[in-house]
Amino acid sequence: MKKILVTRRLLRSCEDKAETNFKAILNSNDELYSQKKIIELSNGCDGILSSLTEKLDSDTINKLPESVKIISNFAVGFGNIDLDAAKKRGIAVTNTPDVLTDATAEIGVLLILGACRRASEGIESARQGGWKWSADYLIGKQLTGTKLGILGMGRIGQKIAKVAKSLGMIIHYHNRSKLNDEKEDGAIYHQNLRDLLEQSEVLSICCPASKETIDLINKDTIEYLPKGAIVTNIARGDIVDDDAMIDALNRRKVYAVGLDVYKNEPNLNSGYLNHKSAFILPHLGSATKETRTAMANLAIDNIVEFFDTGDCRNKVN
């Protein structure tokens, strides 16, 4: 029986599945393992079931034992893993696509609503009690008739577009390639980023993290947005230059942000905490029982498929 290291605690049913298929080293305390400990615990293992919380950079991968042949990432993203280093070592890397589209898109819509309608301020006011109604009390931005720019029109972006359209928003998008008419569903395509941002009264960041998208939303590109735009991010924190975004909030160039992902999370930039107009969540994109179960089961199935066939349909390197 193959031996695997599971770096974070999974739902019980998923850990049972892992133990049925493998000799599994489980993380019963859900400890955040250091890179050194991952290397130590993977001794004698054939595979690693990792999560986004582990940084498997080239140095770490190069120190893994020769026995490790696959890293199955418990996420649709894989920015925490150096794919080139893994490939050079002959280690396959897999992810869990498709199964978290709906849950993540739901959070994407929540971020839009929360930022536009000043939900953080409203929650705080309600908790304090004694608020006084007036005609201009906590006036926010209405979605109906507002132009939504979607940066990255993959499965999640398309799902957000569908819901937003039902709320009366006008959909614009920028993608590596134009979608067909069915997937586009009336959305307006922009070939370059600047054109999209200039139309985006609300911007939803849904694009994959890559070397090309690090700090894609920065002090220069933020200036393309209409004054008073709203920016939301469900993709990866590395896509946004935090200092530039916080400066834009200070200047009121950006009216509000809705964020579920951050650089260096869970240690988000404290500048966001000083803004009432920042609607922030602790990376809840896939946080439903159904989705987390499906993700873990797929991560396990990826390892099973790899050792049964020598390959895996969800291999990313």
In this predicted structure, what is the pLDDT of residue 112? 98
In this predicted structure, what is the pLDDT of residue 228? 97
In this predicted structure, what is the pLDDT of residue 208? 85
CATH class of 101-280: alpha beta
In this predicted structure, what is the pLDDT of residue 174? 98
- Considering the segment(s) 3-99+288-309 as one domain, its CATH architecture is 3-Layer(aba) Sandwich (3.40)
Domain boundaries, the chain: 3-99+288-309, 101-280
Contact 11, 34 (CB under 8 A): no
Cα 8 to Cα 24, 143, 252, 314: the distances in Å are: 12, 39, 40, 21
Contact 125, 131 (CB under 8 A): yes
Fold match between 3-99+288-309 and 101-280? Answer: yes
Ranges of residues in the chain with a pLDDT under 70 are: none
Round to whole Å and give the CA distance between 46 and 65: 9
Cα 308 to Cα 11, 94, 272: the distances in Å are: 25, 15, 47
User: 254: Cβ–Cβ under 8 A, 6 or more apart, which residues?
Assistant: 222, 225, 228, 229, 230, 231, 245, 248
Token output for 201: 């009264």
In this predicted structure, what is the pLDDT of residue 77? 84
Residues classed as catalytic = 236, 265, 283
Report the amino acid identity of residue 245. Answer: M
Residue 168 CB: number of other CB atoms within 10 A? 11
